[in-house]
Structure 1
Amino acid sequence: MIIVTGAAGFIASNLIKKLNSEGFNHIIAVDKFDNPEKNKNLEDLKIQEKVERDVFFEWLDKQDAKKVEFIFHLGARTDTTEFDIAILTKLNTDYTKKMWKKCIDMQIPLIYASSAATYGLGELGYDDDESKIPDLKPLNPYGISKNEFDKWALQQEKRPFYWAGLKFFNVYGPREYHKGRMASVILHAYRQISETGKMKLFRSHNPEFKDGEQMRDFVFVDDVVKVMIWLMHHRKNSGIYNLGSGKARTFLDLVKAVFKSMKKEEDISFIDTPADIRDKYQYFTEAKMEKLKTIGYPYEFTDLESGVDAYIKEMKL
């Protein structure tokens, strides 16, 4: 069996779909199954059992460890505007520590979700060199909670026999419709253009960047899933890895790709960045991806225009 936490979520449900397509149908889906919209992500998937997040460790203790092939721990509180430190510590840091210790005790390989939010404003760059992790300065409590676990993991003498922490950059693609404000700009653009024929982007409040030329490393969810499954089979070179496309692109590039895919005439305007996120806004992110490639990862990443087009076509179905 393969265990996937956060199973009803965006990345995890895409992962389960791909696992199913490769013949892995004994999937244990772990989540807090209290969101009917989010739970729709699981309706077309082959799952052996659903386990509530709060009782997962008790459930795991009753299993034959030899039957657990892998754990993908993707469940977390991912809202970057969440400021309740206690909730983030409980769900993102402490829960993952418990998962780590169980994987050691039961000899189960582990992949867990870190985040590019750990890099803050990128003062130290976006290099997944583990020696730099203690010096990173995340901008929000979510990023802090993820970085705290990364730091803790690197300090441990006892580790799962194989483990990888993945710093997800700006992931986009199908099955994110439930995420509200935290959904990708592509989904927001598709909805806004469908309703109004126009798209409003955040104005730049940084003199080094023109309006719409803020840059992000946008990575297609299919590529993210492909990396995770490759690592599951590879099971060597434990450590913390960036997971982006390796190529920063502007929000204007992204929105123009959405207009083109929707076959609509471009109509783009700008509004002020909300005050509650303005002083914590990243103007540039770009994953250094050499580390993953040096361990043998063989696949290219989808370019933004191709990824946007594939996503838009799926939304139209």
Structure 2
Amino acid sequence: MLMNILITGGAGFIGLNFVQYLLRNTEYHITVIDSLTYASHPKEIYALTSNSRFRFLKGNIVKNKDMERVMDQQYEAIIHFAAESHVDNSINNADKFIQTNINGTYQLLQNLMKGYFKRMIHVSTDEVYGTLTSTQLPFTEQSPIAPNNPYSATKASSDLLVRSYYETFKLPVITTRCSNNFGPFQNIEKFIPTIIHKACKNRRIPLYGDGLQIRDWLFVEDHCRAIHLIMEKGVFGEVYNIGGGNERKNIEIVKKILEIMRKSEDLIEFVEDRKGHDRRYAIDSSKLQNKLGWKQTYSFNQSLEQTVQWYINKFKGAPI
């Protein structure tokens, strides 16, 4: 299917991987708008402009004048990645999270109302569901929303805005909620890149609390494949969970990476726990698998080793 699509936040971690995935696997014509924050990849995104099917516009989705530049055509779909996402930053100051995650999503819904997009895929997170105990079943799409930090609260707010525009106006919207992603181009502030970077430099690796918090890990390319499938076959008004099915304790992840890198576990340093730190995330993707036929391509160990090597090369300054 030939189509023009718009991607917000396409220079960020998941967005850039998604853009590269589409350029490799489809004939879509892609426009990216990104404000190029500290977590973006300007060099990589500008390099893609040599492709005749790709264009990049620097801009902020909250600013009307920036969005007007993008709305020079009708798009088959908009994939909305743009978000502030680092929990620690949201705890220190939530202003940017409220502006981008809530007001930015509102601006896109207004443009959807005007007919600039034929459908909107709103990319969210499992963190909107809150936390689980060790014995509870994974979150489903019917689980109540109960965010526990400012970041997840702003994402939950944007999810509810999207839902309300479907219920009130029957707009063609779909929401996705993914588990913790990992892979190339993730910012160094995030958990797995931090571990690899510290280990490369033989520095202490900070681990919150007792390190027994559990996360469900999803390789970013499998996430990209899921979003592509949902964009083409998803049902308007629906929510689709995208989970990795790879629950691991944080300390297990650290030890596994140190094993891959042949580094000592003595580098681990336990530090004071983060405020409002959710104990466990786990997400049930059976709806996506049963209704749309999605399945993962990469095993956890295979994709983690690939990711570790990518960052080792990056931190050493070698070509990626």
- Shorter-chain TM-score: which interval? 0.7 to 0.9
Amino acid of the structure 1 residue aligned with 2:139 = D
One of 281, 288, 309 as aligned partner of 1:313: 309
Task: Give the equivalent residue in structure 2 for 1:169.
Answer: 179
1:270 is displaced (CA, Å) by 3.6
Task: Name the CA distance, whole Å, in 2 between partners of 1:88 and 1:264.
Answer: 36
The reply on whether 1:146 has 2:155 as its aligned counterpart is yes
Distance 2:6 2:40 in 1: 22
Pairing 1:90-169 to 2, within 5 Å after superposition: 90-106=99-115, 107-122=117-132, 126-130=138-142, 132-133=143-144, 136-155=145-164, 156-161=167-172, 163-169=173-179
Query: Is contact 2:132–2:282 with CA below 8 Å preserved after alignment?
Result: no
> How far has the Cα of 1:120 moved from its partner?
2.0
Asked if 1 retains the 8 angstrom alpha-carbon contact of 2:13 and 2:40, the reply is: no
The aligned amino acid for 2:276 is K
2:45 maps to 42
Q: Within 1, Cα distance between the matches of 2:188 and 2:264?
A: 26
Among 46, 59, 63, the alignment partner of 2:69 is 59
Alignment match, 1:207: none
Distance 1:300 1:168, change over 3 A: closer
For 2:79, which of 67, 72, 81 is the aligned residue?
A: 72
CA deviation profile, 1:222-280 (whole Å, cap 9, x unmatched): 11111111112214354122222023112233223312332445445341234xx2x31
TM-score scaled by structure 2?
Answer: 0.82
Aligned equivalent of 2:207, options 176, 201, 204: 201
Contact 2:36 2:42 in 1 (8 A): yes
Contact preservation (8 Å) 1:257, 1:309: no
Q: CA deviation at 1:41?
A: 3.4
Query: Which amino acid letter does the alignment assign opposite residue 149 of structure 1?
Result: S
In 2: Cα distance, 1:142 partner to 1:307 partner: 27
Q: Could you state the TM-score of these two structures normalised by the residue count of structure 1?
A: 0.83
Specify the code of the residue in structure 1 equivalent to 2:283.
A
Q: Distance in 1 between matches of 2:224 and 2:268?
A: 34
- Output the CA distance in 2 between the equivalents of 1:237 and 1:58: 26
Structure 1: gaps spanning 5 or more residues: 205-211
Check conservation: 2:163, 2:237, Cα contact below 8 A: no
Going from structure 1 to structure 2, the CA distance change for 1:146 and 1:190 (only over 3 Å counts) comes to same
Cα distance 1:137–1:303, how it changes in 2: closer, same or farther (>3 A)?
same
CA RMSD of aligned residues (A): 2.6
SS of aligned partner of 1:281: coil
Q: 1:37 to 1:74 in 2, by over 3 A?
A: closer
Give the Å deviation of 1:151: 2.2
8 Å contact kept, 1:25–1:48: no
CA contact (8 A) 1:247 1:287 kept: no
